[in-house]
Amino acid sequence: MRPAAVAVWCVPIVLAMTSGCQNDETPEKPPKLVPVTGKVTLDGKPLAGASIGFLPASGPAGADDVKEDGSYEIQYNGGKGLPAGDYVVQISYKMGTLGKPLSIGQQFSLVPTKGSVGAKELLPKKYSDFGASELRAKVPVDGGTFNFDLKGPLADPPPLLKESTEAPEKDGAKADEPAATKDAAEPAKAKEPPAASGAAPAEKEKAAKDNS
């Protein structure tokens, strides 16, 4: 079984280690690249946001992100195209927790991006796993176009990342806290003392009887 490539999309460059007495050897020429393009669709519709990789029997893979119209153009070792030969093809559709598929760069970023943690592959392994993929391509010496129409359905996406719904605080109090009423906010008014001038009617009547 073909081992799963840990950094397939990164297209690693392996440098040969040579001793000082071997520095007169002619370095190996990079392989000739031929154009490899095509479209990726799901039940006849463009699978925008997917990623596609071509893995040879040995050496690094070529890859590209699938565009809005479903098209791709394989990139390899800093250039466009692939060496002629036989390839296992992997197509991935990894959905992030922000509701958008992850690009190749996001999938293999050393620093996790927002939405990449908890991402989920929505395509079955017969498409998305190099070790189990049923997809193949034979690239001729003059390049070629390879269209892949995958069959659904997709798996259920991961739960969306929940944004904080808590209202911001304002002036030291929570925004959703009801405002104090005007009467409660204002200090109670002190009761005014009775007027100094004039006695109560009962006191006036008593004084009249005393004087009579």
The per-residue pLDDT for 7 is 42
The per-residue pLDDT for 170 is 54
The per-residue pLDDT for 97 is 96
The per-residue pLDDT for 202 is 57
Task: Give the integer Cα–Cα distance in Å for 165 and 88.
Answer: 46
The per-residue pLDDT for 25 is 61
Q: How far from the centroid of its chain's Cα atoms is residue 5's Cα?
A: 22
The per-residue pLDDT for 127 is 98
Q: By the 8 A CB rule, do 79 and 36 touch?
A: no
pLDDT per residue, tens digit, the chain (212 aa), is 444 443 444 444 333 323 344 455 666 788 999 999 999 999 999 999 999 999 999 999 999 999 999 999 999 999 999 999 999 999 999 999 999 999 999 998 888 888 899 999 999 999 999 999 999 999 999 999 999 999 999 999 999 988 654 455 555 545 455 544 444 445 555 555 555 555 455 555 555 555 54
The per-residue pLDDT for 12 is 40
The per-residue pLDDT for 207 is 53
Q: By the 8 A CB rule, do 74 and 40 touch?
A: no
The pair of structure tokens assigned to 10 is 């990164």
The per-residue pLDDT for 29 is 84
Domains of the chain are 1-17+28-192 (2.60.40.10)
Task: Give the integer Cα–Cα distance in Å for 77 and 63.
Answer: 10
